[in-house]
């Protein structure tokens, strides 16, 4: 079945450092979505990328969708303590159902 892999599983940074998490799907995705889950919270939608090669920015966050629509990355510039949480990518398989398959997530901790 469809698998979504994320690396790294954990990342610990000093405040002000950059952070990147990578997502790879075993199948072509119709779109890729990123969610953030704060400790003790629920996943909250951040962004959706649909087009091959698409890049979107939200303030210090930059999201990319690969040309083959099978991989994606999230880059945070100059991390802040408010960025702490687990970042999940998720996507429905292209031509498949609306089932969202989540990666294992990257847990980010930020040292002030």
Give the footprint of another protein on this chain (CB under 8 A): 31, 33, 35, 37, 41-45, 48, 88, 90, 92, 97-105
In the complex with another protein, the residue whose CB is nearer, 35 or 65, is 35
Smallest gap from residue 78 Cβ to another protein (A): 26
Smallest gap from residue 27 Cβ to another protein (A): 14
Distance CA 28, CA 48 (A): 15
Smallest gap from residue 7 Cβ to another protein (A): 13
Asked if residue 65 lies in contact with residue 53, where contact means CB atoms within 8 angstroms, the answer is yes
- Tally Cβ neighbours within 10 Å of residue 90: 24
In the complex with another protein, the residue whose CB is nearer, 39 or 112, is 39
Which residues are within 8 A (CB) of 6 and not within 5 positions of it... i.e. 6 or more apart?
21, 22, 23, 24, 88, 89, 103, 104, 105, 106
In the complex with another protein, the residue whose CB is nearer, 44 or 68, is 44
Smallest gap from residue 100 Cβ to another protein (A): 6
Q: Which two tokens stand for residue 104?
A: 């294992």
């Amino acid at each position: 079945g469809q698998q979504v892999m994320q690396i790294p599983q954990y990342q610990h940074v000093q405040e002000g450092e950059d952070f990147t998490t990578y997502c790879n799907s075993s199948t072509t995705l119709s779109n890729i979505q990123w969610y953030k889950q704060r400790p003790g919270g629920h996943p909250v939608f951040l962004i959706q990328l649909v087009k091959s090669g698409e890049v979107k920015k939200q303030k210090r966050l930059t999201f990319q969708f690969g040309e083959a629509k099978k991989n994606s990355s999230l880059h945070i510039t100059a991390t802040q303590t408010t960025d702490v949480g687990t970042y999940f990518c998720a996507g429905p398989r292209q031509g498949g159902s609306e089932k969202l398959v989540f990666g294992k997530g990257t847990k980010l901790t930020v040292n002030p």
